[in-house]
Amino acid sequence: MHEPAGEALDALLRAFLAEDVGARDVTTESTIPPESRARGEIVAKSECVVSGLPVARRVFELLEPQVEWFEAVPAGTRVSSGTVIARLAGPARPILTGERVALNLLQRMAGIATLTRRFVDAVAGTSCRILDTRKTAPGLRPFDRRAVRDGGGVNHRYDLSEMVLIKDNHRRLSGGVARAVAAARAGAPGVEIEVEVETEAELTGAVAAGANWILIDNQSPETVGRWCAIARRSPRPPFLEASGNMRLDTVRAYALAGVDACSVGALTHTVAAADVSLELFVE
């Protein structure tokens, strides 16, 4: 799953904290006595699907190992505005210092999970999966992918090493679909091959070349349905994916056209953060 844990996760979170804190938290250190303690509630201020609470907890633990933490709802839960999703308590200074990093990650992850769930709901009752893409902000991909799963989506390849994906530039520079697939099979034996197609000729060429996946890009649902029927006549039909400006009001039509999955770049490249806040009180 490529989800960071242990030292790998801690290294990422320490880097985020270093970016946010700088030399020191001058506001907290100058206004809050060292012995002060606080208790707090993390509250969803908008309807959302919960994601990222273990990450937020670890942010606070890196600053104060003895922070008390209780998750009120599990990941993937849809909650209404005003729902308390976690509670925490401990020394006030580290809680205040870690607040922004923890909330930034929570808001982003919950926002991604929420949009993913909307797409998943839009194709409910079909066999179509909702896939993410590599359109993520550098450094945030593991968190974004976790959020997609919490929203009910499925992760596509994590990085360039996991699957051959022959796109338009690869096709042009390598001399066409057949040559690209043959070269990929020779250069990366055993690795699954996906081919992006934009014409029926490219589709039939990819099927004939034995591509494992075919990505139908920027076509109407009607065209996708016709091409799916063509591809499924093969003795070894490929996995069929549709992409290209997928929207909530159109994705179901693509699912009904017969694809196995729709990939949605907007899940992670245009993130609308959920509204989540930390409300602190003197303990």
Q: Indicate whether 6 pLDDT > 90.
A: no
Residue 3 has pLDDT above 80, yes or no: no
- Number of structural domains the chain divides into: 2
In a domain, 1, yes or no: no
**Which pLDDT does position 1 carry in this prediction?**
52
Residue 129 falls within a domain, yes or no? yes
Residue 256 resides in a domain:
yes
The C-alpha atoms of residue 57 and residue 36 are separated, in whole angstroms, by 20
* Same domain for 101 and 140: no
Closest CA to 159 of 186, 136, 185: 136
Within this chain, do residues 141 and 250 fall inside the same structural domain, yes or no?
A: yes
Q: What is the pLDDT of residue 283?
A: 86
Do 108 and 206 have their domain in common?
A: no
Smallest Cα–Cα separation from 86: which of 114, 51, 53? 53
pLDDT tens profile 179-208: 999 999 999 999 999 999 999 999 999 999
Task: Give residue 4's pLDDT band: very low, low, confident or very high (50, 70, 90).
Answer: confident
Asked if residue 5 has pLDDT above 80, the reply is: no
Point out the residues that are catalytic.
100, 135, 167, 196, 217
On the question of pLDDT at 230 being above 70, the answer is yes
Tell me what the pLDDT averaged over the chain comes to. Answer: 96
Domain residues for the domain of 223 are: 125-269
**CATH number for the domain harbouring residue 95:** 3.90.1170.20
Kindly report, residue by residue over 237-271, the tens digit of the pLDDT: 999 999 998 999 999 999 999 999 999 999 999 99
Residue 97 and residue 164 in one domain: no
Q: Indicate whether 28 and 42 sit together in one domain.
A: yes
In a domain, 137, yes or no: yes
Do the Cβ atoms of 6 and 58 come closer than 8 Å? no
Is residue 147 domain-shared with residue 250, that is, in the same domain?
yes
Please check whether residues 254 and 276 belong to one and the same domain. Answer: no
CATH number of the domain residue 136 falls in = 3.20.20.70
Q: 130 and 254: one domain?
A: yes
Q: Residues, the chain, total?
A: 283
Among 23, 89, 33, CA closest to 61:
89
